[in-house]
C-alpha cells in the first residue's frame, strides 16, 4: 500500500444505470470531426462554437444542431464506434447498464439502411461488453416533428425487425409543438410487438402532456416527466401507479426548464414516492454524464450511497431488458432480480 488516496472525481463510487440518453447526442465534437474526416464529408456550417463545444441557443436550435451532428454518421462502423465510445465512457464512471435511444430516421436521412444501422449498434454493444463488462440496449425512437405517419413507419419497422437488443420505443423531438395523443397508433404497434414504451413528456410541456403520454398504449415510464410537480394529483397518480421517471437534472437546468439544481423538483417527486432514475440526455451538449448526474444527486439533492444504489436498483427494475440479464445485473448490486 502506498497510502495514495484515489482522486476525487466527484463521481460517487456506486454502480450506475442509465435509461435515457440519445445516442446521436453522445458524440463529442472530436468524434464528430474524426467521423466526418473518415467519411470525407464536410463539417456542416454552424455546428461548433469552438473546438470542444456544439453551437446552439435554445431547445429548438439544439434539435437543429443535433441533426447536423448526426448527419456525419454514415456507416455501420460509425455507429459501432459511437456506441463503443459512449459505453466505454459510462463504464469508466461505474455504469453497468445503459439504454440508448437510437433514431432510425437519422440513419435513413443519410441513406444508411436500417439493417446496417443496427449491425453497427449491436457490434458496439458486444464490443463494449467484451472490453468493459457493461450491458447496453437500444430504444428505437420516433421523432414527433416528423409527423404521425413517420412515427408509425418507425414503429412498424421496429416491430418487424425484432432483435433481443432492441427493447423499447420512445418519442423524442419537439414536445411542445407535437403533443403525444396523435401518436397512439405508433405506440400500439410497438407495445403489441413487446417493446417497452416510454415517451418524452413533462419537460417542455406541462402536466397535460404527461396525462396524454400515460394514455398511450404500454407507457410505464416517462422521459423526464418532472413537470408533474405542477399538479399534486398527478404526482400522487405517478406514485400510485409506479410510473418511473427518467430524470435528467443537468439537461433540465442547461435547457432552462429549471433555473438551477435548487429549483429542480427531483427531491419533491422522490419524497412524494415517485420512482425516479438518473440520466444524462445528451451528454456533450449539456456538459452531463451518468457519473456526473449521480454526483449532482449527492451534492445537490443530498443522496448518500445507499439512496444512490436504490436509484440504480429502480433503473434496473424499470429497464426494458430481458429477465436473465436483469437478474444478473441486480445480483451485481446484491439485490434480488424482479422487474417492477
Ligand atoms: N432529441 C435529441 N435530444 C433530445 C432531447 N433532449 N429531447 C427531445 N428530443 C431529443
Ligand atoms: Zn431526451
pLDDT tens sequence for the chain (340 residues): 334 555 678 999 999 999 999 999 999 999 999 999 999 999 999 999 999 999 999 999 999 999 999 999 999 999 999 999 999 999 999 999 999 999 999 999 999 999 999 999 999 999 999 999 999 999 999 999 999 999 999 999 999 999 999 999 999 999 999 999 999 999 999 999 999 999 999 999 999 999 999 999 999 999 999 999 999 999 999 999 999 999 999 999 999 999 999 999 999 999 999 999 999 999 999 999 999 999 999 999 999 999 999 999 999 999 999 999 999 999 999 876 678 8
Under a CB-based contact definition with an 8 Å cutoff, are residues 223 and 247 in contact?
Answer: no
* 99-116 pLDDT, tens digit each: 999 999 999 999 999 999
Q: How far apart are CA 136 and CA 156, in angstroms?
A: 23
Pocket lining: 173 vs ligand 1, CB cutoff 6 Å: yes
**DSSP letter, residue 13:** S
Grid cell in block for residue 6: 484515489
Query: Cell numbers of 238, please?
Result: 405517478
Q: Which ligand sits closest to the CA of 205? A: 1
Say which residue the cell 423524442 belongs to: 172
* Span from the CA of 257 to the centroid of ligand 2 (angstroms): 13
Q: What is the rounded distance in angstroms from the CA atom of residue 41 to the CA atom of residue 68?
A: 12
DSSP class of residue 281 equals: B
Strand (E) or helix (H) holding 329? helix 323-332
> Separation of 2 CA from ligand 2 center, angstroms?
44
Q: Which of 282, 285, 288 to mutate to test the pocket of ligand 1 (most atoms within 8 A of CB)?
A: 282
Ligand at shortest distance from the CA of 21: 2
Interstrand relation of 166-172 and 196-201 (parallel, antiparallel or unpaired): parallel
Sheet holding 95-102, edge to edge: 16-22, 95-102, 135-143, 166-172, 196-201, 219-224, 244-247, 275-278
Nearest Cα neighbor of 174 from 148, 197, 200 is 200
How many other C-beta atoms lie within 10 A of the C-beta of residue 142?
Answer: 27
Q: What is the pLDDT of residues 57-68, one digit of tens each?
A: 999 999 999 999
Is 225 close to ligand 1, i.e. is its CB under 6 Å away? no
Rounded to the nearest angstrom, the distance between the alpha carbon of 238 and the centre of ligand 1 is 22
Which CATH class, in words, describes the domain spanning 16-338? alpha beta
Cβ-contact 221, 244 below 8 angstroms: yes
pLDDT at 4: 52
Would the CB of 25 count as within 6 Å of ligand 1?
yes
For the chain, which residues make up each domain, given as ranges? 16-338
Rounded distance between C-alpha atoms, residue 186 and residue 140, angstroms: 12
Q: What integer pLDDT is reported at residue 7 of this predicted model?
A: 64
Q: Which residues contact 126 (CB under 8 A, 6 or more apart)?
A: none
Which residues belong to the active site?
203
Whole-structure pTM value: 0.97
CA of 199 to the centre of ligand 2 (A): 9
Ligand nearest to the CA of 175: 1
pLDDT for 1 = 35
Instruction: Write out the three cell numbers for 224.
Output: 423526464
Q: Is the Cβ–Cβ distance between 20 and 279 less than 8 Å?
A: yes
> Do 245 and 264 form a contact (C-beta atoms < 8 A)?
no
Amino acid at each position: 500500500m502506498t497510502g495514495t488516496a484515489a482522486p476525487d472525481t466527484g463521481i460517487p463510487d456506486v454502480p450506475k444505470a442509465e435509461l435515457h440518453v440519445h445516442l446521436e447526442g453522445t458524440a463529442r465534437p472530436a468524434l464528430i470531426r474524426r467521423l466526418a474526416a473518415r467519411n470525407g464529408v464536410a463539417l456542416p456550417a454552424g455546428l461548433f462554437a469552438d473546438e470542444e463545444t456544439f453551437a446552439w441557443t435554445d431547445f429548438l436550435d439544439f434539435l437543429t444542431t443535433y441533426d447536423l451532428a448526426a448527419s456525419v454518421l454514415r456507416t455501420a462502423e460509425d455507429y459501432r464506434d459511437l456506441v463503443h465510445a459512449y459505453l466505454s465512457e459510462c463504464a469508466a464512471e461505474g455504469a453497468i447498464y445503459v439504454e440508448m435511444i437510437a433514431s432510425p430516421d437519422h440513419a435513413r436521412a443519410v441513406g444508411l439502411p436500417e439493417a446496417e444501422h443496427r449491425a453497427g449498434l449491436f457490434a458496439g454493444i458486444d464490443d463494449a461488453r467484451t472490453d468493459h463488462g457493461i450491458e447496453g440496449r437500444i430504444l428505437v425512437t420516433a421523432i414527433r416533428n416528423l409527423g404521425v405517419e413517420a412515427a408509425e413507419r418507425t414503429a412498424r419497422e421496429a416491430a418487424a425487425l425484432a432483435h433481443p437488443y432492441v427493447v423499447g420505443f420512445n418519442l423524442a423531438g419537439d414536445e411542445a409543438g407535437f403533443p403525444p395523443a396523435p401518436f397512439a397508433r405508433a405506440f400500439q404497434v410497438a407495445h403489441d410487438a413487446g417493446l417497452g414504451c416510454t415517451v418524452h413528456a413533462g419537460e417542455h410541456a406541462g402536466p397535460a402532456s404527461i396525462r396524454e403520454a400515460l394514455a398511450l398504449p404500454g407507457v410505464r415510464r416517462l422521459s423526464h416527466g418532472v413537470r408533474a410537480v405542477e399538479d399534486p394529483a398527478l404526482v400522487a397518480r405517478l406514485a400510485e401507479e409506479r410510473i418511473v421517471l427518467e430524470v435528467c437534472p443537468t439537461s433540465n437546468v442547461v435547457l432552462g426548464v429549471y433555473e438551477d439544481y435548487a429549483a429542480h423538483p427531483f427531491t419533491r417527486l422522490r419524497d412524494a414516492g415517485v420512482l425516479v432514475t438518473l440520466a444524462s440526455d445528451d451528454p456533450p451538449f449539456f456538459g452531463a454524464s451518468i457519473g456526473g448526474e449521480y454526483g449532482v444527486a449527492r451534492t445537490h439533492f443530498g443522496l448518500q450511497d445507499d439512496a444512490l444504489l436504490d436509484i440504480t436498483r429502480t433503473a434496473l427494475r424499470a429497464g426494458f431488458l430481458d429477465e436473465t440479464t436483469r437478474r444478473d445485473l441486480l445480483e451485481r448490486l446484491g439485490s434480488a432480480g424482479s422487474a417492477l
